[in-house]
Amino acid sequence: MEIDEAVRGCSDRRMRTKYANAVYVVQRAFALYPFEEVAFSFNGGKDSTVLLHLIRAGYYLYKKDSGDVAEMDAVKNCPLRTIYFESPCAFPEINSFTYETVSTYGLPLETIHSDFKSGLEGLLKEKPTKAIFIGTRIGDPNAVGQEQFSPSSPGWPPFMRVNPILDWSYRDVWSFLLTCKVKYCSLYDQGYTSIGSIHDTVPNALLSDSSTEKIFRPAYMLTDGRLERAGRTKKTNHNIEMNSVASNGMTSIEGEQTISRAASIIVVSDEMFGTTEDKLGAALCKKLHAIGWRVSHVAVVRNEIDSVSEEVERCKSMDDMVFILGGLGPLHSDVSLAGVAKAFGVRLAPDEEFEDYLSQLMGNNYTGDRNEMALLPEGITELLNHKRLPLPLIKCRNVITLAATNVDELDTEWDCLLDTQESGLVQAKPFVSKHLGTTLTDVQIAPVLAKLCLEFSDVYIGCHRISRAGPLVVNLTGKDNQRVEAAAEKLTSTFEGQFSQVDSCK
Ligand SMILES: Cc1cc2nc3c(=O)[nH]c(=O)nc-3n(C[C@H](O)[C@H](O)[C@H](O)COP(=O)(O)O)c2cc1C
Ligand SMILES: Nc1ncnc2c1ncn2[C@@H]1O[C@H](COP(=O)(O)OP(=O)(O)OP(=O)(O)O)[C@@H](O)[C@H]1O
Ligand SMILES: [Mg+2]
């Protein structure tokens, strides 16, 4: 079987692994469902072209494994029911490629002229259909939450969606098509990287030839697969918004200076419960304070997925940003990302870009076919790169997982975050603080401080003793210097000569 031979004979270990997993899914589907109750959703796109050849290979291997040797000659092709939702808005090149391909490979075609949902309702009424092969991949807008076998969504007719290439990247798709030397739709050679309708799809501008805007390079030349839908004008999923960036890279929009920002910190560590102390959380508090962010909450949780996910769930909606310290890496106790994924209701899925960084850093020094460290929360992860970092930091929506193991590493990671626009760490209006020391007792000043708190609700009024016998230090912190000064003035004038300014609250 030419596809099987081409892949098994290639030197690309990743390709061979992806192929082996995908054809395994195909074989499982043929083992699970009667052949006549399985369909293939084919639209002439690159992903469904990959799927076509994987189905052909999987069918061949399935027949071979089940000992149908007499039939082997006949299974060069796979006569699987093929459905195509034909739309008047489809590119003529897509239509002709689809018809040509089904004829070349002997696929019985059922053309449907309505939308996906009602078309599938009609199909299922007409013929029992238990499973449908679909070329959905991670990164497609509809892929979030799907597995290789996923029942159709509630409200859709009941069938199993079989997604053999769910974990394939853009690059995997092109490696496969080029390795197997199979025909694909001609639009991909004209700069189209993902194809919708004639109304919402143009060639990908990232492939435009710099000398003339009308010439585009072929789709397989796109280096950043995350931008494959950049030519889908209406439904783009990855539009990158550019904000104004200050010279240090930190977003510094004038209006932002007055906004207030709050963060919470989650320290993930079993050791904090008895054998060591948290230095990183305290250091991060100071760093946030220094850029004018309020720290609303610092929590220490155990290395358990549920403990992390419950804490992330609480903090992510309460604060602008959540920082996680600890629990990142290949150890059994490194559960932070699994906790984040659970909090957002997504699964952990292989991230090719992160995998590339990891293999540059550590070669192939991981066990099994898969690098478990490259499993990141699916559909919500952004990698924050910086030239000073060995690996990008992982940001899932408003949750940033820091990799620092000591304060020096934290200093570096923090500087890189400030220098990276995508981190979202905008400079907020800085805090001003005043520290006033006194030898008065807490009982003496308590009623006055209570009133002061009510009158100056925009000033944080903290109070602590150096020892039980004193002295006492009152800390006044706020964003408005005049208000902080006014609160300090009120306190000192109430207790004339009894308060003096001290450097800081040690
Ligand atoms: C065979 C088939 C089954 C589908 N099943 C579902 C489904 O169960 N739930 C759902 O929300 N969408 C379903 N869809 C719609 C897809 O999620 C998606 O809208 C479609 O593949 C178009 O993708 P595009 O917007 O990237 O072109 C299905 C589509 C096809 C072709
Ligand atoms: N009109 C259609 N008819 C049949 N199947 C379809 C149709 N549109 C989408 N599908 C199914 O959904 C899958 C995902 O569609 P999607 O548009 O993301 O991929 P593609 O068309 O194969 O490639 P590309 O991303 O380059 O357009 C397809 O591989 C196919 O299985
Ligand atoms: Mg398409």
Q: What is the DSSP letter of 267?
A: E
Output the CA–CA distances (angstroms, integers) from residue 387 to 290, 391, 409, 420, in the order listed. Answer: 24, 9, 14, 10
pLDDT at 241: 28
The two three-digit tokens of residue 229, written as one number: 């839908």
- Rg for the chain, CA atoms, rounded: 30
Ligand 2 atom closest to residue 47's alpha carbon, by position in its atom list = 22
pLDDT at 237: 36
For β-strands 472-478 and 432-438, DSSP reports them as antiparallel
Nearest listed ligand to the Cα of residue 42: 2
Quote the ligand 2 centre to 134 CA distance (angstroms): 7
pLDDT at 69: 61
Report whether residue 381 contacts ligand 2, using a CB cutoff of 6 Å.
no
Q: How many residues does the chain have?
A: 506
Ligand 1 atom closest to residue 235's alpha carbon, by position in its atom list = 25
Report whether residue 427 contacts ligand 2, using a CB cutoff of 6 Å.
no
pLDDT at 4: 95
Report whether residue 194 contacts ligand 2, using a CB cutoff of 6 Å.
yes
pLDDT at 45: 97
Output the CA–CA distances (angstroms, integers) from residue 322 to 316, 381, 467, in the order listed. Answer: 6, 14, 34
- The residue whose CB lies within 8 Å of the most ligand 2 atoms, and thus the one to mutate among 38, 48, 111, is 48
pLDDT at 6: 96
Contacts of 397 (CB under 8 A, 6+ apart): 316, 344, 380
Report whether residue 85 contacts ligand 2, using a CB cutoff of 6 Å.
yes
- The residue whose CB lies within 8 Å of the most ligand 2 atoms, and thus the one to mutate among 26, 40, 41, 43, is 43
The two three-digit tokens of residue 472, written as one number: 């006492």
pLDDT along the chain (506 residues), means of 10: 94 91 96 97 98 96 80 73 95 97 95 95 95 91 86 95 94 95 97 93 86 82 82 47 34 46 94 86 95 93 95 92 92 90 90 86 66 84 92 94 95 95 87 93 91 89 84 92 95 94 72
Contacts of 151 (CB under 8 A, 6+ apart): 158, 159, 160, 161
- The residue whose CB lies within 8 Å of the most ligand 1 atoms, and thus the one to mutate among 46, 142, 153, 163, is 142
- Cross-strand partners of 501: 436
Quote the ligand 2 centre to 6 CA distance (angstroms): 24
CA-CA distance, 80 to 99, in Å (whole number)? 15
- Cross-strand partners of 299: 266
pLDDT at 213: 64
Strands (E), 86-177: 109-112, 131-133, 149-151, 160-162
Contact between 431 and 479 under an 8 Å Cβ cutoff? The reply is yes
- For the residues of 387-428, what is the DSSP string, one character each? TT-SS-EEEETTEEEE--SSHHHHHHHHHHHHT-GGG--PPP
Quote the ligand 1 centre to 222 CA distance (angstroms): 25
CA-CA distance, 352 to 34, in Å (whole number)? 35
Q: Whose CA is nearest to atom 19 of ligand 2?
A: 47
